[in-house]
């Protein structure tokens, strides 16, 4: 059994969910995504035991394209994140009545398949195919099952598609250009490609365009809040929980090792852009009246910090980015789920129309509270570890970076707690609010368990990923 098996399970699951019909689609999707998670966990176990679980095969002779899925600790971690979040996301949709649900679940699993492929591909071209492939399902998920009126949703989603597609095409040019130098698309070959400073600069820029749009880093973020708000919650979770991690992972895996010189030279610019995103996202989050939009901007702030950390090119920054990616993935899925529960029961996303929920639902309130605290990086949560490393790496680069980026914790605490207060506390709401059901509680508890466990004991993950990251950081800093 190798890593391609996970991809096959997901792809087969997508087909199966479509063909079992509307009634059983959700169950089939849950079963297959859980199976994929189990397979990944087993492969990780095998990998830590020293076995190789990679899959390499030549696909096209000329130009040389290799269908290669490599399992190292980084790609396995991301694969674990993807396959762990997918069942959670599917479980989170169970209470909703979804029309044409077989297509919906098939698209979710197909999306998981594409994202998993992005994380494990070693061949730049295959990687690019998966990268683009993930765009099609999310386009349809957001478009067809989203909220709000047709016209504005359509505009937002099409804008998102064209934006990201445009950015990715420049990445494709960069890959083809690199291919001319190296003779194949394998990442190890591309790392070794000999490039002039000017070539490195343009290649870096081409990659940056693709990743900055997907993450998003300001000023490429304008698609984000609208799409997050208008997508169905499952779509928002996929976008914010996994899809944007594709871009951050790619920065670490592709962009920095291939073109490190401009990254070193213009480090202040890119770190600055990330931090600007932190401030900008936080301030906008303060002003939001819609709960999903508020979470979207808070996500913008968090990923800005992650990107800034990755662009410091230090081991701490990159490891912090990696850890925070995992933590943010879980927490943001949990938060959007909470938002979804509230707005489903009140049939509105306006914060001003909520309030006084805690009195009716102590269980839901406390679980939501934990997620809010995790999101603002309380100690003992996984997010604290990541955020701490990120800020530490920034302090190594320039102390003012750390100071400015540190405001994210203050601002974050401010807008998240304000939101919590307005939504949950206060006089009992006139509208009744049922407490969480068993299924809902299960999702929350699973997420919270992960966050707390790794918050207290992050060693398994850090030990797992550090050697590989050290190797990458050496490659990135090979010119200094």
Partner 1 sequence: MYTLIAIAGLGIICLIAEIFNLRKAIVPITILGLLGSLALTVPDFGHYYRYFNSMVITNNFSAAFSCLFIILTIFLIALTPDFHKEHKAKLSDFVAIKLFLLTGAIAMVCFGNLAMFFLGIEILSIALYVLAASQPKNLKSNEAGMKYFLMGAFASGFILFGIALIYGATGSFDTSVIYGKILENQPMPAWYFIGIVMMSIGLLFKIAAVPFHFWAPDVYEGSPALTTATMSTLTKVAAIAAFFKLMTSLNLTVPGTYITIISIVSILSMTVGNITALVQTNVKRMLAFSGISHAGFMLMVFFNPIETPGTLLYYTAAYAFAGIAAFAVILSVCGDKGNEEVYNFNGLGKRNPLMAAVLTCSLLSMAGIPIFSGFFAKFFLFNQVLSTGHVAIVIIAILNSIVSVGYYFKLILAMYTKEATSEVQPTPVMYTIVAVLSIALNIAMGLQPDFVLGLLKI
By CB under 8 A, name the binding residues for partner 1.
Answer: 59-63, 125, 128-129, 132-133, 135-136, 140, 143-144, 150, 154, 158, 161-162, 165-166, 169-170, 172-173, 176-177, 179-180
CA nearest 243: which of 340, 330, 329? Answer: 329
Residue 206 or 333: the one with the smaller Cβ distance to partner 1 is: 206
Smallest separation (angstroms) from partner 1 to the CB of 347: 23
Smallest separation (angstroms) from partner 1 to the CB of 319: 32
Smallest separation (angstroms) from partner 1 to the CB of 170: 7
Asked if the bond preceding 63 is cis, omega within 30° of 0, the reply is: yes
Smallest separation (angstroms) from partner 1 to the CB of 324: 29
Smallest separation (angstroms) from partner 1 to the CB of 358: 39
Residue 154 or 418: the one with the smaller Cβ distance to partner 1 is: 154
Residue 176 or 413: the one with the smaller Cβ distance to partner 1 is: 176
Residue 58 or 428: the one with the smaller Cβ distance to partner 1 is: 58
Residue 124 or 329: the one with the smaller Cβ distance to partner 1 is: 124
Residue 173 or 449: the one with the smaller Cβ distance to partner 1 is: 173
Residue 168 or 314: the one with the smaller Cβ distance to partner 1 is: 168
Smallest separation (angstroms) from partner 1 to the CB of 142: 11
Q: Distance of CA 100 to CAs 19, 25, 107, 306, 337, Å?
A: 12, 10, 11, 37, 21
Smallest separation (angstroms) from partner 1 to the CB of 130: 8
Residue 126 or 331: the one with the smaller Cβ distance to partner 1 is: 126
Smallest separation (angstroms) from partner 1 to the CB of 46: 29
């Amino acid at each position: 059994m190798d890593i391609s098996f996970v991809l096959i399970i997901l792809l087969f699951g997508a087909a199966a969910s479509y063909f079992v019909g509307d009634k059983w689609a959700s169950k089939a999707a849950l079963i297959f995504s859980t199976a994929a998670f189990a397979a990944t966990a087993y492969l990780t176990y095998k990998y830590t035991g020293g076995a190789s679980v990679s899959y390499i095969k030549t696909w096209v002779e000329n130009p040389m394209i290799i269908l290669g899925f490599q399992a190292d600790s980084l790609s396995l971690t991301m694969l674990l994140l993807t396959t762990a979040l997918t069942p959670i996301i599917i479980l989170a949709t169970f209470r909703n009545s979804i029309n044409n649900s077989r297509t919906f679940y098939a698209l979710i699993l197909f999306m998981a398949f594409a994202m998993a492929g992005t994380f494990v591909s070693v061949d730049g071209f295959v990687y690019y195919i998966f990268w683009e492939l993930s765009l099609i399902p999310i386009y349809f998920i957001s478009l067809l099952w989203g909220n709000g009126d047709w016209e504005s949703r359509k505009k937002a989603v099409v804008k998102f598609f064209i934006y990201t597609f445009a950015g990715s095409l420049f990445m494709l040019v960069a890959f083809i250009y690199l291919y001319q130098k190296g003779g194949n698309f394998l990442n190890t070959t591309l790392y070794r490609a000999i490039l002039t400073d000017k070539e490195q600069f343009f290649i870096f820029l081409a990659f940056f365009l693709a990743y900055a749009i997907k993450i998003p880093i300001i000023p490429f973020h304008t698609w984000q809040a609208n799409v997050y708000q208008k997508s169905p919650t499952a779509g928002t979770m996929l976008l914010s929980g996994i899809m944007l991690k594709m871009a951050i992972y790619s920065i670490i895996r592709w962009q920095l090792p291939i073109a490190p010189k401009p990254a070193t030279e213009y480090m202040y610019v890119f770190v600055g852009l990330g931090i600007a995103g932190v401030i900008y996202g936080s301030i906008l989050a303060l002003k939001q009246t819609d709960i999903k939009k508020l979470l979207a901007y808070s996500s913008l702030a968090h990923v800005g910090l992650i990107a800034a950390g990755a662009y410091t090119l230090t081991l701490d920054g990159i490891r912090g980015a990696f850890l925070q990616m995992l933590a943010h993935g879980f927490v943001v899925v949990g938060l959007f789920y909470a938002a979804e529960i509230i707005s489903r029961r009140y049939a509105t996303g306006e914060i001003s129309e909520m309030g006084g929920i805690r009195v009716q639902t102590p269980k839901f309130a406390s679980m939501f509270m934990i997620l809010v605290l995790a999101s603002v990086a309380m100690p003992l949560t996984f997010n604290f570890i990541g955020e701490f490393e990120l800020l530490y790496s920034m302090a190594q680069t320039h102390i003012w970076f750390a100071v400015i980026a540190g405001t994210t914790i203050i601002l974050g605490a401010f807008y998240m707690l304000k939101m919590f207060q307005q939504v949950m506390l206060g006089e009992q709401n006139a509208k009744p609010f049922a407490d969480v059901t068993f299924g809902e509680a299960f999702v929350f508890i699973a997420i919270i368990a992960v966050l707390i466990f790794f918050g207290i004991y992050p060693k398994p993950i850090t030990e797992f990923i550090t050697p590989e990251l050290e190797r990458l950081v050496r490659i990135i800093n090979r010119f200094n």
